[in-house]
Amino acid sequence: MRLSGKKAVVTGGGSGIGKAIAEALVREGCQVAIGGRDLVKLESVKKTLNSINSDFGDYHGHIAHVVDVGELKSVERFIRFAKEEFGPIDILVNAAGVNTKTRTLADITPEQWDEVMRINAYGPYYTMQAVLAEMRARKDGLIINISSTSGKRASMLGGIAYCASKFAATATVTAAALEEGKNGIRVTSIFPGEVDTPLLDKRPAPVSAERKATMLKPEDVAEAVVFVACLPPRAHVAELVMKPTVQEYS
């Protein structure tokens, strides 16, 4: 319970990495608000979170709310809901992300490009903006953005739109960290390589069970988030790259 009493918001919390992060934070004592686009999945995850541990004194349960992180008003409603239920937010984790099966410049449509950029690049900006004022006022706060090694090294695997969106997010989060360190706010980018999540369904070709077996698991990324979150305020992890042992990174 190293994070007992902390209030956390996790986007993309209905499945995959976001779900694993929410569960890991709950196990460390956080009260968690999850957001995503599928209410049925969110409610299922919320039940799981509430079953993990509910012995937090004034604990009133974890919460879920539909949010489209690429829409400013939707993000504002989600964060406002979380603040009304919890009070000030201590930890924000941006785990929402999308990709498209169409991944080359020659084939991707403007609509597909816009959707990937909207979620992956605009989303972190909108959510950080929504919690910034209160974190500044307290001189304390932690923001973690789950990016991708495609945000460090452009690749055919990620595709042109995904790489562009993740590079944009990398720059946004890095700049935010430089700006807000003096205000007591730590901002971190985590760059996972291949992870076995539902996003694999957006690969142009099916991924074999053998390939999936070599990948990171969502709980691996969740453990990295917990590591960063449990460090003392004096310690800032600006970037953390993690990849499957067999995956090249160059």
Answer yes or no: 162 catalytic.
Answer: yes
Q: What sign results for the dihedral spanned by CA atoms 168, 237, 224, 32?
A: negative
DSSP H or E segment with residue 86: helix 72-86
Q: Residue 218: CA atoms inside 13 Å, Cβ hemisphere, count? A: 19
Catalytic choice (59, 126, 162, 249):
162
| DSSP symbol at 75 | H
Of the candidates 241, 161, 237, 131, which has an alpha carbon nearest to the alpha carbon of residue 194? 241
Cα(135)–Cα(180) distance, integer angstroms: 10
Cα(194)–Cα(246) distance, integer angstroms: 10
Would you please indicate which residues are annotated as catalytic (active-site) residues? 162
